[in-house]
Structure 1
Amino acid sequence: MDSSPNPPAIEHLTRIHKAWQWPVLMVVSVLFAGALELAALPAALLIGPMLAAIAAGTNGATVRVPRVLFGSAQAVVGCLVASSISADIFPVFYKEWPLFLGVVMATVAASSLLGWLISRWRILPGTTAVWGSSPGAATAMVLMAGAFGADQRLVAFMLYLRVICVSMTAALVAKLWVDTSGIEVPAIVWFPPVDPQRLAATFGVALVGGLAGKLFRLPSPFFLGTFIFGTVIHLGLGVTMQLPPWRLALSYTMIGWSIGLNFTRAVLRHAARALPQIVGSIIALIVFCGGLAFLISRLLGIDPLTAYLATSPGGMDSVAIIAAAAQHVDLSFVMALQSARFLIVLLVGPSVARLVARSLRE
């Protein structure tokens, strides 16, 4: 891995004055993110800066993201997750709750087993593989993993690799049932009109939620505190928040840089050695969820594509775009099951990780 090529601008950053490392990192981040966006890969605005930071960190970069910026970025992601939970999913979930709960728990159990095996075989240290095998909520799980003692760098490597694989697989499967060649991602309006009330609500939720998280000593306090408080405000009081794309892009960049700059060549070598097992676990989870989709389709008469997209383990944004493009897909069913898994993963993820950690010590 040491001999792998890096962008010329990244080489030997130890020789570059600290003040100039930031501009170099910014330029390379924009190039990487732009290339991923052109390739229509998910989470490009986070993965691009993270890849640039990994290249910088493994070549001697000494800059680090200030804690206050990293904390504010986590709070923004907490607001994003809270605002993405729609009350519309609850009637659909209530109608089909035994099916939804069974599918979600089966998926969580399968992913946890895969993570446990990787940990048991000492391919990755501690509970890192359990967090990295989480079937959804990738950014949230990365943010919480570090607070629970997992290697945040390797967790991010596993989760975002899975997000890309799952999203590409869902797009390929969709082509078997519907022509997706005309699918277009909606154009991003980077600077939408400002809504003073919604913007003020966003800042208020981030501030109060972050402080509450610190006060109650929550793990990953800025993310979890903001997520919990924001969900209560959003669903309980009907308060909406405004998160313009430019602000999200900055937050994703801060998170990507914070993770990537802490990579070392030793960690990168470790990730490369574990790559075959990680890819194998991703394929196994995709196949398992495909099997669940087959059972749902055959036993309950649900459209096969609807069942597959609903059970797809991650890549919710990409799944939503594909589902919306197919006229015969039940979009409400797909998003309700995806959202239910997202919430359950957030709620049970830390407990599952602790349980696995205990079993590994025994």
Structure 2
Amino acid sequence: MPDRTPAPARTAPAIRISFRNANISLKWGCLLALSVAFTVPLHAMHLPAAILIGPMFAAVVLAVNEAHLPIPGPAFLLAQGIVGCMIARSLRISIFSKVIGEGPFFLGGVLCVIVLCTLIGFCLARWKVLPGSTALWGASPGAATIMTLMSQAYGADMRLVAFMQYFRAAAVAIAATTMARGTTPVTADAASAFWTMPASWNAFGETIAVIVAGVCLAHMLRLSAGALMLPLIFATALQDTGLLSIDLPPWFLASGYAVLGWGIGLRFTRATLHYAARALPYIFVAIMLMIAGCGAMALALARFKHVSLLTAYLATSPGGEDTVAIIAATTPGVDMPFVMAMQTVRFVLVLFTGPFLARTLSRWVER
């Protein structure tokens, strides 16, 4: 009698895209196409970090599908120098006169934000949500790009730091934009002015010279995070003395951000992505606590310093200085000098205390 037992059903093979054997031109073509596909909708949502997050997402997609496409080291270092000059453009010494005028309460607000974010990062590290000092760098309330780049030089996992920093930057940008639009509408003309800024080619050439000089000197001296820090220091000093007018055309700035996004995203692996996905609920709660804590500080600041609640929230917001600057500049009724003074002071403090705090607290975590 023939066996009538039905044969086991054939399962469809899992579809898995692999770029391992693709030629280099195809890989670059896919990277550029995906970068545009991710960046355009993010920019349409008025997310200030879209020109970095979009290319980073595109690079992650290719990296987890085995596209080995390393970014040349000199290009990645020069991109860091571009970001250093971009930060220096808004970092004027005269802004610190606002700090002296506002007194201890101003500095207290800055320190409270740093303490809150550092404490949350310490808890994440203590509970092993992220390895080593990665959680401390990821929770640091400085500029996301700066903290991500510096973290690699001090032994943290730059991929996970980037994941936490940019996830927080996106959440803070959405919260701040929603609050700004709920108070006063954002003007489209001011937002588009960021992209239509005219460039002076003489000033642009001088800016490039500062970037190249700073990056080359950092490479010669083997300084950790020097490719970012030396152009930042040089450009700030030269600008403040009137010897340099920093000019970064939008296309040049966008290309630098794209290279950074690719350099970070292409380091991701499937294992790293799975690790980040498992940690996402804890990171989300930590970010909500940061936003809520800074919101409570904004209420106190608005009450005692007699500034608007929106001004106080933007001043204490744990997002990046560039994100807050764009939102503040495009929202009527915001005290821009107050916001930028508080954000700048916090950025400088985190910039110089971040490595020390990360090293010190990571030792406590390992005990």
Compared CA separation, residues 327 and 81, structure 1 to 2 (3 A): closer
State TM-score, norm by structure 1: 0.91
In the alignment, what sits opposite 1:205? 210
Task: Report if the CA contact (8 A) 2:164-2:283 is conserved.
Answer: yes
Give the whole-Å Cα distance in 2 for the aligned partners of 1:321 and 1:44. 13
Match of 1:136 among 142, 148, 162: 142
Task: Report if the CA contact (8 A) 1:127-1:150 is conserved.
Answer: yes
Q: Deviations over 1:287-311 (max 9, x none)?
A: 1111111111223333222211111
Is 1:259 the equivalent of 2:293? no
Q: CA deviation at 1:326?
A: 4.4
Match of 1:94 among 71, 78, 100: 100
In the alignment, what sits opposite 2:357? 352
Q: CA deviation at 1:33?
A: 0.9
In the alignment, what sits opposite 2:29? 23
Task: Report if the CA contact (8 A) 2:199-2:248 is conserved.
Answer: no
Unaligned runs of 5+ in 1: 1-7
Q: Deviations over 1:249-304 (max 9, x none)?
A: 11111111111111000000000000011111110011111111111122333322
State TM-score, norm by structure 2: 0.90
Q: Deviations over 1:51-91 (max 9, x none)?
A: 00000000010111010111111111111112221244122
In the alignment, what sits opposite 2:10? none
Q: Which structure has the larger Rg over C-alpha atoms?
A: 2
In the alignment, what sits opposite 1:311? 316
Amino acid at match of 1:214: H
Match of 2:41 among 31, 35, 40: 35
Q: CA deviation at 1:241?
A: 1.7
Match of 2:126 among 115, 120, 123: 120
Query: What SS class does the counterpart of residue 105 from structure 1 fall into?
Result: helix
Is 1:12 the equivalent of 2:18? yes
Question: How many residue pairs are counted as aligned between the two chains?
Answer: 353
Aligned ranges 1:72-91 → 2 under 5 Å: 72-91=78-97
Give the whole-Å Cα distance in 1 for the aligned partners of 2:194 and 2:340. 22
Compared CA separation, residues 179 and 63, structure 1 to 2 (3 A): closer
Task: Report if the CA contact (8 A) 2:207-2:244 is conserved.
Answer: no
Q: CA deviation at 1:323?
A: 3.0
| Stretch moving more, 119-128 or 309-318 | 309-318
Amino acid at match of 1:132: G
In the alignment, what sits opposite 2:274? 269
Give the whole-Å Cα distance in 2 for the aligned partners of 1:90 and 1:11. 53
| Stretch moving more, 228-237 or 271-280 | 228-237
In the alignment, what sits opposite 2:11? none
RMSD: 2.1
In the alignment, what sits opposite 2:111? 105
Give the whole-Å Cα distance in 2 for the aligned partners of 1:69 and 1:101. 38
